[in-house]
Amino acid sequence: MVVRTFVKPALPLLTLLPGLCLIPVVAILVRDGHGGGLPLLIQFAQGAVQPSFDPTLLKSLWQGLQITGVTAVLSWAISSGLGLIFGFLGSRTLWRTVLGTPWPAVLVRRLLSPFRAIHELIWGLLLLQVYGLNAWVAIAAIVIPYSALMARVLADQIDCHDSPALPVLQGSGGLAMAVLLTAVFPAVFASIKHHIGHRLDCALRSALILGVFGLGGLGTDLMLSLQSLQFRDMWSGLWLLAIAMVLLDFILQTIPRRPRIGFVVGIALVLLVVWSASLNLDLSWPSGSFGSVFSGLVADRNAATAALFEINWGAAIGSTLLITLMASCIATAVPPLLLLLSPSQSSLRLQSLIWAALRLVPTPLTALLLLVMAKPSLPLAALALGLHHSGVMGRVLMKDIRETGFGSAQILERSGATVRMSWLYGPLAEVSRSYLAYASYRCDVILRDTVVVGIVGSAGLGWQLIDALSSFHWWLVAWLVLAFIVLTLCGETITDQLQQRLNCKAVGL
């Protein structure tokens, strides 16, 4: 028998192959590792089962969680409203129906793209320099990219829906907007609602990250606990956060099934915001202007050129891309590898817990924990980023597999295949297309998130940007932000093409 092999990996294998990246990453971490941090890691693990119950600490953490919650809810509510408006304006279907041409939609999309390309942390640090520490800074930092991101997702949802009723209603002479609302909006309403709901979860995480970098709330408390090696205190905060996230997840899942509960939750959220007036949260309108920054930029034009040649762009961009690549590979491959390591319906619950735990700890804290065990390096930054995002990818994989069912695995098992092979050719194969499409979208998010771990790798654009911001080097900040925008938009273009090749559009979560 002639055996010939053409190397063309099938989709289920493509979910596993990025796992090869773990080999060099682990090898470098072993090389750079030191045993000195082991007692600290043991203390950290012990803190999980023995969190602190000191009343003063718990009160402080509770207030921190409230501040993070209020920041998240306000930024989510504002960005949802703006996202809906800009989403409609960015829809090609809308403009085709109204004007007969899609170019205004293209214009809106182009104008919004730089806003979503910049990570909320960059927005936060930029606004912090201009307006000082103020709750609106954190809220605006989340609102700006989230509105633009949500607008893009909503516009895509509307444009992707090919309504057979649209030409019929247009032919009946209805108003363009009325036709659109009747023919398209009901069909995409469920997914839009789902997406808006999910953004609340994202806003909570973003508010936490901003807190880690000093913008207040629970993130700041967690960072201070970690820096002072008070792991029991840190775990008290993490458990509090876990309870909040589980509650939020429960609420988001319950609302579509029982709208009355949604109403009650809505009232509770409004009360939470009203109650925030009693919190140590400065919601007064911030003073300050971009004038101080712009005057610094205009005063010395030669500084622009000087700043441009100040850093090694090749190395900075290269290391950013390398972190993105490694982190994306880790995030994509770890969930399917763990699934095949323990392929059974009963183990899915345990795996879901692992993914929830990885999502719980903010990336900078994971990176700092890893730094206890190894020297700073690009693989370490990538591992921290990759593990956090594998938590998100793991959740997507579990959800897809539960929705698809286990029938295919049972059938393959009945025909004599082993359990592992049955899961590889059954449930994993069935979800691989949508999983890879989502992974390609996740690469964009990871590229934006490199700024968060840049400081750990001591390399890349993120580290340079934080350094430039700290030294008020505005021209370098401007160039670095521009580089981030270009990189993110290039990344989006590539992943869009990947999704087209996979014939599957990932709904941006």
By CB under 8 A, name the binding residues for another protein. Answer: 1-13, 16, 407-408, 410-418, 420-422, 424-426, 429-430, 432-433
Q: Which is nearer to another protein, 125 or 333 (CB)?
A: 333
Min CB(260)–another protein separation in Å: 33
Separation CA 383–CA 27 (nearest Å): 12
Q: Which is nearer to another protein, 25 or 502 (CB)?
A: 502
Query: CB–CB of 210/124 below 8 Å?
Result: yes
Separation CA 446–CA 332 (nearest Å): 11
Min CB(419)–another protein separation in Å: 10
Helix, strand, or coil (residue 132): coil
Min CB(450)–another protein separation in Å: 31
Min CB(391)–another protein separation in Å: 25
Q: Residue 193: CA atoms inside 13 Å, Cβ hemisphere, count?
A: 14
Q: Which is nearer to another protein, 79 or 434 (CB)?
A: 434
Separation CA 301–CA 282 (nearest Å): 37
Q: Residue 271: CA atoms inside 13 Å, Cβ hemisphere, count?
A: 6
Min CB(326)–another protein separation in Å: 23
Q: Which is nearer to another protein, 123 or 423 (CB)?
A: 423
Min CB(387)–another protein separation in Å: 25
Q: Which is nearer to another protein, 260 or 414 (CB)?
A: 414
Structure tokens at 62: 């509770």
Separation CA 435–CA 96 (nearest Å): 32
Q: Which is nearer to another protein, 404 or 458 (CB)?
A: 404
Min CB(393)–another protein separation in Å: 18
Query: CB–CB of 150/196 below 8 Å?
Result: yes
Q: Which is nearer to another protein, 343 or 391 (CB)?
A: 343
Min CB(503)–another protein separation in Å: 8
DSSP 380-449: HHHHHHHHHHHHHHHHHHHHHHHHH-SHHHHHHHHTT--HHHHHHHTHHHHHHHHHHHHHHHHHHHHHHH
Give the residue ranges of DSSP H helices in 99-134: 103-117, 120-131
Helix axes 55-89, 185-210, angle to 10 degrees: 140
Q: Which is nearer to another protein, 435 or 479 (CB)?
A: 435
Min CB(252)–another protein separation in Å: 30
Separation CA 121–CA 209 (nearest Å): 7
Min CB(438)–another protein separation in Å: 15
Q: Which is nearer to another protein, 56 or 503 (CB)?
A: 503
Min CB(431)–another protein separation in Å: 9
Q: Which helix (H) or strand (E) holds 229?
A: none
CA-closest candidate to residue 363, choices 395, 334, 391, 397: 391
Query: CB–CB of 87/155 below 8 Å?
Result: yes
Can you say whether the dihedral through the CA atoms of 201, 202, 208, 211 is positive or negative?
Answer: negative
* C-beta neighbour count of 78 within 10 angstroms: 16
Amino acid at 488: T
Q: Which is nearer to another protein, 254 or 408 (CB)?
A: 408
Q: Which is nearer to another protein, 155 or 436 (CB)?
A: 436
